[in-house]
Amino acid sequence: MNTTKNKVALVTGGGRGIGLGISQHLARSGFNLMISGIRPLEAVQEAMESLRALGVKAEYCQADVSEAAARQRLIEETRGQFGALHLLVNNAGVAPTQRSDILEASEESFERLMRVNLQGPYFLTQLAARWMVEQKKSAGDFSGAIINISSVSAIVASVNRGDYCLTKAGVAMATKLWAARLGEFGIAVYEIRPGVIKTDMTAGVGEKYDKLIAEGLLVEPRWGVPDDIGRAAAALARGEIPYATGQVLTVDGGLTLQRL
């Protein structure tokens, strides 16, 4: 029996790339969806229709998670459309506009990435968690969860995008913090740590990673795809990996596996 039918998931950046892969698998698992992103509705209409075709309710809210007012509006629209929230997936994120050696990197890029990749999901989690706690107190059988999408860059140093690495390391710690805080309410918090995933974000370094993969960078010699992350997220969302709050699920084809 599909126990997730009619549960509600909010997926930031859920209209393309990794976020869309996650949204598709959540829809197949029976979650109704609130999708957010910075693009206008017409730019994500095709993606939204593909999600609705899977038999769930799917709505879109244009919202920049780096802005406090937009985060509040996103939660309010989710409440208005669905009346409940069972799962938050903090997926929205950006890469540096220009990769720069840390000897030359700018404060402007640092601040932008911190606001979008770390401050945004941290305080969106705060809003969602408060609502989930409220739901738990009013209905003892309520089950909630939060999934943070980080990156192997949380633990692998890339000196030409230090700001990105620092934000993902921050997300890793945020996962631990929220897991520790929300455990008393039965709200599980997880981190998924993707490796080299083929999306529009990695399009500019395609040749670089094609070469590295051919030379043995990965144990599984292929690019990761959004579907790989979607499958992992859906398994966590369905509760198939219990008793594991605060843990990291690394989906990187063996990139971070130490080898001799």
Residues with catalytic roles: 164
CA atoms 246, 251, 256, 260: torsion sign: positive
Beta carbons within 8 Å of 87's beta carbon, 6+ residues apart: 7, 8, 9, 10, 26, 31, 144, 145, 146, 147, 237
Q: What is the DSSP letter of 185?
A: G
The structure tokens listed for 46 are: 């095709």
CB atoms within 10 A of CB 98: 11
The structure tokens listed for 103 are: 């000897």
Angle between helices 17-28 and 226-237 (to 10 degrees): 40
